[in-house]
Amino acid sequence: MKKITRYLGLAAKLLVFLLVLGFALKNSHSVTFNSYLDYVWQAPLIVMLGLAFVLGALTGVLALLPTQIRMRRELARKQRAVDSDTTIAQTDFPVV
């Protein structure tokens, strides 16, 4: 069963790759990006879309970074509290 899901995952990745490749080949026209200070950049449409996707994903990750750091600190603090509560105190009494 594990091999079947592995092959299905591989097939899904291949399908997505072929769809993106087909999209890139169909949209290879050059587009112009006009920015501030009269900066102009020309590139294929798929490059512009890929750049917009990467910048959006990076912005999302950076926006969530403070929350993730806070959650990890809180988790570490709670794990330390649980570890200190579960430690067994050493005593000199013999076990009967």
Rounded distance between C-alpha atoms, residue 23 and residue 16, angstroms: 10
Six-digit token string for 2: 């594990």
Amino acid at 57: A
- Kindly tell me if the per-residue pLDDT of 16 is higher than 60: yes
- Kindly tell me if the per-residue pLDDT of 96 is higher than 80: no
Residue extents of the structural domains in the chain: 23-82
29, HSE (Cβ side, Cα atoms, 13 Å): 4
Tens digits of residue pLDDT in 18-75: 998 898 888 888 999 998 998 999 999 888 988 999 999 999 999 999 999 999 999 9
- Kindly tell me if the per-residue pLDDT of 13 is higher than 90: yes
Tens digits of residue pLDDT in 60-83: 999 999 999 999 999 999 988 887
Classify 92 as helix, strand or coil.
Answer: coil
- Kindly tell me if the per-residue pLDDT of 92 is higher than 80: no
